[in-house]
Structure 1
Amino acid sequence: MELNQDDINEAELLAYLKGEEVTADQRLNIERWLEDETNRMEARRIYQAWELSLLAAPGTADVDRALKDVKTRLGWEADIKTMPISGASRWWWAAASVIVLGIAFVSVRYLLTDNTVVLQAQEKVEEYTLEDKTLVSLKEGSEVSYLPTTFNELDIRTVGLKGEAFFEVAHNEEKPFVVTTSDAEIKVLGTKFLVQAFDNKPTEVLVKEGKVQVTYLLSGDVVVLKAEEEVVVAENEAPVVKTSDDNQLYWKTGVMTFKEVSLGKVFETLSQEFEMEITTKNEAILSCKITATFKKQSLNTIIEVIETTHNLNSTNKEGIITFEGDGCQ
């Protein structure tokens, strides 16, 4: 008789995979069930979800031995590796095991298998087309990773992100697209959005088209963003939704537009985009406003326009740009 996943007891299956004692009838039933490839995939999912909860638990566990055991039982061909979990990062695992259990097996496989696809942008912006036709633009120093099976074997298209990327997601109502970062999960069906995921600050998201749901793993805060909205998070504060600033996409679009914007805000944008500190000797300069559009201009050219517009001077010493002048009231 052919068995499907509805015929199996998950508790008994997990006990078998972990090497615990099961009855002879249970063992026979499980091993017959595991003869089917679809069932073996489901068994991997069940085991990996359990493993995430194991990693989240306090204390130590012999994960290496457990993985080697289950590798034989499930027919894994690739070697499986584990990563040590430091005390400082243990909170992340605890939060993830509760909040994203539904995709836990995907997250674990990112950490434990050798066949992860990693797309990187090192010294310049790179653009990639994923297997589902989703377009990804990576800012320099960023990377996206995923399993090849995420686009054809799983119910959720999941990719991990470190750094900054713009996604143009191919629409598929039956398979949501999820971006995971160290502290958040971004879920969509088909849309265009920017994600900034850096180690030293909470994840921030900007939506150009469609709708996006952002879940912050540690706090449990859930935010739904529409087109032309973004979410920002200050340290120890709740997420705040505001009108998006498309100038954050300058690295991708090459266009930066200011319309009656204060130089204080302009300097903030330029500092972030060009990674330069900008200061003034007169705070009244920050109140001056400018209307301009820059298309693939260098920072030096943009500064010259600002100087000419408001009769200012600037110096650049040791990577710090300082403006001088009378400013505005």
Structure 2
Amino acid sequence: MNSHANISEELLARYLADTASESERDEVETWLAASEANARELAAYRLIWDHTASMQKSRTTVDTDAAWKKMKGKMSENKAPAILPEEVVRETKTIEFRPGVRQRRLPVTVWAAAMIAILVTAFGWFFLMSEKKPESRQVATTDNTTEQLLPDGTKVFLNYNSTLTYPENFNGDLRTVSLQGEAFFDVKPDAAHPFVIQANGTEIRVLGTSFNVKAYNEAPVRVDVATGKVRVSKDAHRVELVKGQSAEVLKDSIRSLQANINMMGYRTQIYEFNAADLQDVVSSIRDGYHVDVRLSNDKIAQCRLTIRFEKEPVDATLSVIAETLDLNLRKEGKVYWLDGNGCQ
């Protein structure tokens, strides 16, 4: 190569290795400014120099002569053309010739300390979240009923198609569970830790009492109190109930009712009717026994009945009703029919 005939290869090597004196650097930069070809040529040498394996950056003194000889050998093997491709020409126009900046490597002890700090933080966050969100458990029914004992000693009896979600352990100020469906709660008294049920946007809060909650999607939430006191609230609406009282939660209000003990018949299998319309009697039996009972006409819907059933089979219960009101009972598949001419 003749383009650097007026400048020594050793000087170029010292320039690339950043070991040249100030006067030598001025000489090289004057040579670079003499022509664009000189700048392209040095840029090509620099690319090869930077990729030469023998030129690892270290704190030891650089042997520029040996490095230059190795670089020339590398150039001979590659047979780099004197005329560079257009892509390299464009790249060399933006190359800035400045001394290489060595990066300081952090000591291994610093990296180790950083990793330990990260692990400690991660484990601390994990345990913190574990304490805030204890593991949940769930019990669900389909075509059956079941009883579940909660960690605090509270007993819950679930009706058909119901789901109860509760924590593995009750931590904190509240004992909170979630209900979808229907269940009877016999809550273990604990004045310092109120028992809270979340059911379709309604909150039922108690200290220690027994009551029934019906919270299916297709109907308003209903609460019937057997013993003690219960607070029912939704949004800004709130009502407190005692034994014998009931409430139905509507969209924008809470309506107070008289408790219906037959609402709990699915658990007790006890039904007591006092001058009740046959339509209401059939509704209670239908919900309690989970059977399909229908009236053949509207005339008999207003027939009144005063009677009590305690743990009787559904066939026997319906037969007694039919005989008492002088009605006919028949079964078609899984459907029970009550038929007659009405009541006098």
TM-score clears 0.5: yes
1:138 aligns with 2:152: no
Q: How many residues align?
A: 225
**Alignment partners' CA distance in 1, 2:261 and 2:136:** 32
Secondary structure of the corresponding residue to residue 126 of structure 2: coil
Q: 1:172-208: CA deviations, max 9, x gaps?
A: 1111110111221100111101111212222211111
1:312 equivalent to 2:320? Answer: no
Deviations 1:52-96 (A, max 9, x none): xxxxxxxxxxxxxxxxxxx9374315999xxxxxxxxxxxxxxxx
- Equivalent positions of 1:33-48 (< 5 A) are none
Q: 2:239 maps to what in 1? A: 223
Q: In structure 2, give the amino acid aligned to 1:174.
A: A
Q: Is the 8 A contact 1:215 1:221 kept in 2?
A: yes
Letter in 2 for 1:130: L
Output the CA distance in 2 between the equivalents of 1:144 and 1:78. 26
Helix, strand or coil at the partner of 1:75: helix
Q: What is the aligned partner in structure 2 of residue 256 from structure 1?
A: 271
Separation of aligned partners in 2, 1:123 and 1:276: 11
2:199 to 157, 162, 181: 181
Separation in 1 of the partners of 2:128 and 2:332? 53
Q: Which structure 2 residues correspond to residues 69-108 of structure 1 after superposition, within 5 A? A: 72=122, 74-76=124-126
CA distance in 2, matches of 1:122, 1:200: 17
Percent identity reads: 27
Counterparts of residues 197-276 of structure 1 (less than 5 Å)? 197-217=215-235, 220-233=236-249, 236=251, 238-276=253-291
* Cα distance in 1, alignment partners of residues 150 and 290 from structure 2: 29
Choose 163-172 or 225-234, whichever is displaced more: 225-234
Q: Offset of 1:298 from its aligned partner?
A: 2.4
Equivalent pair of 1:183/1:202 in contact (CA under 8 Å): no
Shift of the 324–124 alpha-carbon distance from structure 1 to 2, 3 Å rule, reads closer
Offset at 1:318? 5.4
What CA RMSD, in Å, does the superposition of the two structures yield over aligned residues? 2.8
Change (3 A) 1:182 1:78: farther
Distance 1:278 1:149, change over 3 A: closer
When residues 254 and 160 of structure 1 are mapped into structure 2, their CA distance, relative to the original with a 3 A threshold, is: same
The gaps in structure 1 that reach 5 residues or longer are 1-70, 81-104
Shift of 1:119: 2.7
Structure 1 residue 285, shift from structure 2 partner = 1.3
RCO greater where, 1 or 2, for CA within 8 Å and sep 6 or more?
1
Distance 2:146 2:290 in 1: 19
The corresponding residue for 1:67 is none
Q: What TM-score do the two structures reach when normalised by structure 1?
A: 0.61
